[in-house]
């Protein structure tokens, strides 16, 4: 063999090795990118998850202590919190999620002065919304009876909701403060204040029910204190020097551009309300079944566990919304796409873990809430549906976070309306009442017709998204929102 042939053969022999090295470098680079993005996501998602778990634990704690008073009190408190307060929270959260979009994008674009202005505009919009929603709390009993709930539970739930009005009004201040701090990555203060509020709430529940035995009204009334702790803690941090770039004091600019802000808030409100209310319809429909009290209590336990676990995907919803909004505001479309992919993968992994826990302990977790064996047996029957819902929840909230970060609220609202209420609701009714599958049929129909189809549509839209185009569109929108103040002559 000549030297030239030997050299050629040697070169050919090295080619595959060179290709493998390139692949290995690419794999290492990808792993490093995933690791770096995961750290950014967890920096936001970790405190957000703790905050959401703490906040929902306060509501669950109220239900647990109400169960120590009596079964009727547990059912009424569950209806009041999960249906009425849940509907209300969906409205207020939805109306404030516009702030999540705008603050996240403004922070990414380094328009720091606008964050405080946006928050004040959100306060105005939510405060007005809060008063418009008040009749739902005042007329809870006739509303629940109209939807077929047992009169005993409906009347007791009406008493509970009257004592929940202070918490309802507190949402108007709490939610904008939360998104204001979250969008600028002030995550530690969110976690610390949430922990203090949870401790205060747990102590007050124990004191009122176990030690002083003051009854249900006192339990609900003292439960409002923890939400005031959250508002005072967040607001104190913001105005006492914690946010020097983004909080420069109260401004009349908050009253300019309110109509445009309200329109985006309304689109956000419709999007999230259609999602949040869907679970409440499940509980209302269950209340019309024979032996409804047992089914309502069992469903309450399953939905409580579901929402408890949902706080993890919702934490990634918040983190994804912030990361996507920040990157689009900075003009980095590809980085926004990558953040979405990492968030979905992480959320799926976590939800699989919780699905396994539910399947393993399906006959035990009901005892946390009640000792009624009939209810425990029904919880055991509903556990497979609970597990499937948990798996579905791993993707859908994160994709909603992508939508919030990108400002797609109006489109998603249309998708929610079609999937949830034109397909899922009729399917749930058919399976539950026409084909007589009971609460299992209602739940299965609502899940298969609503969240499952919505998740597929959002996944398809996200995969096909032109992220560089979204980054350009974000720049134009930021220019529009920042110019909301009229010129002063």
Written as six digits, the tokens of 277 are 């209310």
The residue with tokens 């309450």 is: 300
Structure tokens at 124: 């105005």
- List b or e across 362-400, with b for residues whose CB sees 16 or more CB atoms inside 10 angstroms: beebbeebbebeebbebbeebbebbbbbbebbbbbbbbb
Question: Could you identify the residue written with the tokens 């959250």?
Answer: 230
Q: Where are the domains of the chain?
A: 38-481
What is the pLDDT at residue 177? Answer: 93
Cβ contacts of 456 within 8 Å, gap of 6 or more: none
Coil, strand, or helix at residue 281? Answer: helix
Half-sphere CA count of 49, side-chain side, radius 13 A:
17
C-beta atoms surrounding 65 within 10 Å: 22
> Do 298 and 332 meet the contact criterion of CB atoms below 8 Å apart?
no
Q: How many residues does the chain have?
A: 489
DSSP letters for 127-187: HHHHHHHHHHHHTHHHHHHHTT--HHHHHHHHHHHHHTHHHHHHHHHHHHHHHHHHHTT-H
R_g of the chain, CA atoms, integer Å: 25
Q: What is the 3-state secondary structure (H, E, C) of 291-305?
A: CHHHHHHHHHHHHHH
- This prediction has a pTM of 0.72
CA atoms within 13 A on the CB side of 66: 30
How far is residue 345's CA from residue 326's CA, in Å, rounded to a whole number? 20
Q: What is the pLDDT along the chain (489 residues), one digit of tens a residue?
A: 444 444 544 444 444 444 455 466 677 688 888 898 888 888 888 887 888 888 888 988 898 899 888 878 888 888 888 788 877 887 888 788 778 778 877 887 788 888 888 899 889 888 988 999 999 999 999 988 888 777 888 899 999 999 999 999 999 999 999 989 988 878 889 889 999 999 999 999 999 999 999 989 999 999 999 999 999 999 999 989 888 888 988 888 778 777 777 777 776 667 667 667 777 777 778 767 766 677 777 887 887 788 788 888 878 877 887 788 788 877 888 888 888 888 888 888 888 898 898 888 888 878 877 778 888 888 888 888 888 888 887 787 888 778 767 777 778 778 878 888 888 888 988 988 888 888 888 888 887 777 888 888 888 888 888 888 877 877 776 666 554 443 333
């Amino acid at each position: 063999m000549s030297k030239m042939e030997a050299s050629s053969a040697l070169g050919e022999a090295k080619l595959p090795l060179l290709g493998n090295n390139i692949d290995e470098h690419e794999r290492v680079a990808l792993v490093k990118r995933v690791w770096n993005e995961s750290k950014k996501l967890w920096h936001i998602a970790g405190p957000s998850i703790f905050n959401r778990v703490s906040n929902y634990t306060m509501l669950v704690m109220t239900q647990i202590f109400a169960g120590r008073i009596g079964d009727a009190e547990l059912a009424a408190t569950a209806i009041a919190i999960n249906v009425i307060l849940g509907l209300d929270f969906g409205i207020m959260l939805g109306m404030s999620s516009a702030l999540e979009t705008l603050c996240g994008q403004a922070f990414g674009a380094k328009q720091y002065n606008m964050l405080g202005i946006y928050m004040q505009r959100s306060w105005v919009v939510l405060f007005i919304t809060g008063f418009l929603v008040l009749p739902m709390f005042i007329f809870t009993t006739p509303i629940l009876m109209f939807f077929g709930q047992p009169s005993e539970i409906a009347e007791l739930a009406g008493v509970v909701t009257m004592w929940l009005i202070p918490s309802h009004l507190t949402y108007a201040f709490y939610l904008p403060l939360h998104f204001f701090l979250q969008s600028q990555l002030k995550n530690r203060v969110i976690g610390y204040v949430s922990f203090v509020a949870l401790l205060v709430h747990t102590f007050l529940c124990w004191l009122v029910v176990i030690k002083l035995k003051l009854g249900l009204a006192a339990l609900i009334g003292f439960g409002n204190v923890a939400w005031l702790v959250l508002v005072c803690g967040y607001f104190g941090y913001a105005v006492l020097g914690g946010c020097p770039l983004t909080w420069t004091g109260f401004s009349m600019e908050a009253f300019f551009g309110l109509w445009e802000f309200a329109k985006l808030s309304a689109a956000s409100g419709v999007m999230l309300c259609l999602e949040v209310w869907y679970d409440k319809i499940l509980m209302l429909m269950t209340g019309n079944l024979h032996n409804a009290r047992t089914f309502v209590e069992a469903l309450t336990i399953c939905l409580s566990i579901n929402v408890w676990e949902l706080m993890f995907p919702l934490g990634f919803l918040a983190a994804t919304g912030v990361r996507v909004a920040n990157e689009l505001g900075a003009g980095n479309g590809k980085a926004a796409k990558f953040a979405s992919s990492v968030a979905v993968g992480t959320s799926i992994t976590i939800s699989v873990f919780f699905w396994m826990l539910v399947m393993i302990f399906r006959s035990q977790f009901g005892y946390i809430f009640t000792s009624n064996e009939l209810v425990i047996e029904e919880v055991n029957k509903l556990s497979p549906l609970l597990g499937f819902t948990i798996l579905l929840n791993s993707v859908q909230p994160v994709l909603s976070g992508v939508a919030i970060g990108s400002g797609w609220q109006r489109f998603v609202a249309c998708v929610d309306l079609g999937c949830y209420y034109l397909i899922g609701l009729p399917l749930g009714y058919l399976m539950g009442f026409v084909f007589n599958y009971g609460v299992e049929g209602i739940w299965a129909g609502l899940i298969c017709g609503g969240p499952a189809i919505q998740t597929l549509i959002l996944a398809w839209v996200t995969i096909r998204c032109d992220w560089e185009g979204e980054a350009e569109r974000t720049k134009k929108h930021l220019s529009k929102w920042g110019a909301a103040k009229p010129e002063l002559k």
